[in-house]
Chain A
Amino acid sequence: MSQRFVTTTVEVEGREERVVVEAPEVEPLPWGPRARLDRVGSRVPRLDAAVKVTGRARYTADVRLPGMLYAAILRAPVAAGTVERLDVAEARAMPGVQALISPPDVSDIQWLHEEPLLGLRIYYHGQPLAAVAADSLLEARTAVAAIRVTVRGRRHHVGVDPEKRVRAARGAPAPPETVKRERGRVRRALREAPVVVTQTSRVPVALHHPLEPHGSVVWWQDDRVTVYDSTQGIFRVRRELAEALGLPVNRVRVIGEYMGGGFGSKNHCGAYTVLAALLSRKTGRPVKLVLDRREVGTDAGHRPESAVRITLGADRDGRLRAIDAEAWVALGVDGWPGGTTQIARRLYRCPNVRTVEHYLYTNAGAMSVFRAPFYVEGAFALESAMDLLAKRLRLDPAELRARNLSDVDPLRSRPYSLDVLPECLDDVTRRIGWGKRRRRPRWARPGPDDRTARGRGVALEIWGAAGGPPAYAEVRINRDASVLVITGTQDLGTGARTVLAQIAAQVLGVPLDQVHVLLGDTDAGPYAPNSWGSMTTASVGPAVRAAAEDAARQLREAAAGMLNVRPEGLVVRRGRIATASGRKSIALARVTEQLGNIMIVGTGHRGPNPESVTVMSFGAQAAEVEVDLETGEVRVLRIVAAHDCGRAINPELAESQMHGGILQGMGYALFERRVQDPGTGQVLNPGLHEYKIATLADMPQIDARVVTKSDPVANHTGTKGLGEPPIIPTAPAIANAVYDALGVQPAELPLTRRRMMQLIRKARRRR
């Protein structure tokens, strides 16, 4: 008998974990490249589109419960220091105020760095200090403003500066250890390499800014806590909230029906959720605590600021001999020492690679993962350095990349399950009309109106999007042959509901509208992982398929009795269960009708990942930009993108994901930057007016191609994740296009007018 519990490797957000997994007794046969599928692979409209376009979709902030109170948070007015006095008497007595919690009430709940949830030590401007629940939001906010807080400030530290040696936040714990890795012998290889280039690039703090602010509605009723939460992980919120409150997990229920985006910033239980729960316990009434936009921009996570120095050594024909990368990353008060240089060890074939990562805590809110965390930052550094190398070698940047592609996983020296990177690179260069590269800046010649310069750039990505266990699903067949799929995942706007329904409909041979997917409720669905790491489709998808196959098996057994045949030869197809020859068949609905109230419940779970191969997803983008030489404005004219997601369950939705990544990547390249005042440590642009995200008018022409090729080794649905990868190459492709246009290379994002004017002046001097 095979072992039931085995260990497998799962990569989440660039970090590998060994996890124990329940090995399924039988895994369905993989849907390989030639599998004939009709529901899977079709461009059906997303199933929740109608409720979303009519305003009927209920998001967390729309939840309204009887007797509900509204809560607001008092936040620290300095970036570092100590609270000396917190006078709440006046606030407590204000009209409408029902409950107030301040540091003494929650000293037993540990939060960041084992500090209390509401502590007296201040680590960042905007840190929660107290919370008020009142009959209306206006009353709650008025009361918060009436709390008198006296603080003693201390010096704080923000930002990262590799030249000056970074200093961590005062009073904060020791920063995470510097991470050094080396394969081969980098120093010697650099000494011997005929061509060496060095580039230091910098990227800013970027904010997720999902348009639905973070928030929870919590009702502590008798001995159960019900939480409506805008979250990427209902099960994680359940566990973390139960731990914070000292409750067994079965007394906490987390519901996230519709969710207005997260992009990585909603992966944990927020302090706001715990505060809402405590206020609900105090009052016995439901409490709504939704952050306002400025709180989202201050204390809801960010992509960290970093500086990366990369040295590349190469042969004269462009083959990489050495990569030496060192990164300095300012995390904020807490965060995840992820892997800013990981992509440098992974994207290209290179025998000698050394990476060093320094992390530090600064006086700012904690970072959180943000769509392809660390790879976005690292890709900008690496892919910029590659273009610098191409220029030094007088080699076409696309050709340089092609020469350095690796046909095995450079990190583990083993094959990929399926490698489509060469195809992606070819595809984007062909479609953008790359042709022969002119290495001379185009603006040297008059442009269309004599004040613009145009250029093109290319960049690649690689991302661990295999997904993995554990993930569970249940498929119930009702007596009218309608299907209920239940799983504890969530739909952030990705289309999870739709693709899971397509998978179940495929297996059971029923029309899509006969399938309902119930997700986003920890009391209803079996466990599924956070929707992060591009892992939902490739983790929950196979679980749903396995559950549907299990239900189909039971239906075949039932039908076999009704048809007087053996169940083994039966197939479920287009609403009927038939013998292989088709001679005998019975409608699915007749089978379920005869079964009556006998429950057909299929269960399934995601099996282990393959051990001897590496499952990655790949992609490439090419950008065309126009630089206004008088104003410094960069306009992205066109992005051509090709990304791999194994088999696309729904190419329409996959394309939408690509658009999203590209537009966020473009914003990161051109305008997004959180500015923290060095003097006060305050975030100066927490709102959407000052923190610029792309608008419709900024949109370039986007030609997104989903490279859909089943990867049956990855899992039996042949899928891989696509949520994050498309954001990775956009900024470097744009920066490389600017380099092509001007002949000088941008080394710092975003490409503001001021930086661009400096670049343009430099270019003119060189002419």
Chain B
Amino acid sequence: MSGERTRVVLAVNGRRRALALDPRTTLLDALREHLELTGTKRGCDRGECGVCTVLLDGRPVYACLALAAACDGARITTIEGLASAPERLHPVQQAFVAADALQCGYCTPGQILSAVALLEEHPRPTVAQIHEAMAGNLCRCGAYPKIVRAIRAASRRSKRR
């Protein structure tokens, strides 16, 4: 796009990333198109489905509804930044694998990040808290029963630690 560029600095998965962006660029496009972090999915571009959920300073947000420029200086965690190493999955990722809490996998990164944020805030979430935290992440394959199972399992594991 011709015209002005905005300078945006994001701390993405612990790495400082300086970008010069069209001011209309969403956080989702900054991640997917400029930083090539395609683990964050695009499903609707209007905050309807939740597949683009990332953590912004630890809180879950829809990346399609956030302007990248408005996130200047923020800490962003995407699904790529959750596992400390490819073979060392985050406990919530492990729980999703073990519970078969995914089918096509397209909503999975967003589900996992919402679940991570939930468990940060409520290490032992109630049913109502799980509903509240997860209802904004749609899954068309119907993995919900096992997503709940995975969240419960991850919650138990973190209690033991």
A interface residues (Cβ-Cβ under 8 A, vs B): 45-46, 48-50, 52-59, 61-62, 64, 95-96, 136, 138-139, 208-213, 258-261, 263, 290, 292-293, 492-495, 652-653, 655-657, 659-664, 687-689, 693-697, 699, 702
Contact = CB atoms under 8 A, between A and B. Distances in A.
Given A50-B89, A53-B97, A293-B48, A211 B79 contact: no
Contacts of B96: 49, 53
Contacts of B144: 659, 663, 694-696, 699
A210 B140 contact: yes
Interface residues of B, number: 59
Q: Which of B83, B135, B139 has the most CB of A within 10 A?
A: B139
Contact of A50 (B40, B82, B97, B145): B97
A493 B104 contact: yes
A261 B2 contact: no
B89 A54 contact: yes
Contacts of B105: 48-49, 52-53, 57, 258, 260, 493
Interface of B: 1-2, 22, 24, 32-33, 36-46, 48-49, 51, 78-80, 82-83, 86, 89, 93, 96-98, 100, 102-109, 112, 130-132, 134-148
B138 A656 contact: no
B45 A293 contact: yes
A211 B48 contact: no
Contacts of B43: 211-213, 293, 688
A689 B62 CA distance: 14
Contact of A656 (B39, B42, B46, B143): B143
Nearest to A50: B97
A702 B148 CA distance: 12
Nearest to A55: B39
Nearest to A703: B145
Given A45-B100, A260-B104, A293-B48, A56 B41 contact: no
18 contacts: A45-B97, A54-B80, A54-B89, A56-B80, A58-B38, A208-B140, A213-B43, A258-B104, A258-B105, A290-B42, A293-B46, A293-B49, A494-B103, A495-B103, A656-B103, A695-B136, A696-B139, A697-B132
Contacts of A213: 42-43
B44 A693 contact: no
A659 B106 contact: no
A591 to B, nearest CB: 30
Nearest to B128: A697
A630 to B, nearest CB: 22
Given A55-B79, A64-B36, A210-B140, 6 more contacts: A54-B83, A258-B105, A494-B103, A657-B103, A695-B144, A697-B132
Contacts of B39: 54-56
A659 B136 CA distance: 19
Nearest to A702: B145
Contacts of A492: 104
A179 B67 CA distance: 55
Given A49-B96, A293-B44, A687-B48, A696 B137 contact: yes
B104 to A, nearest CB: 3
A59 B97 contact: no
7 nearest A-B residue pairs (beta carbon): A55-B39, A493-B104, A260-B106, A52-B105, A660-B142, A55-B79, A663-B142
Nearest to B113: A55
Contacts of B46: 293, 687, 689
B50 to A, nearest CB: 9
Contacts of A652: 100
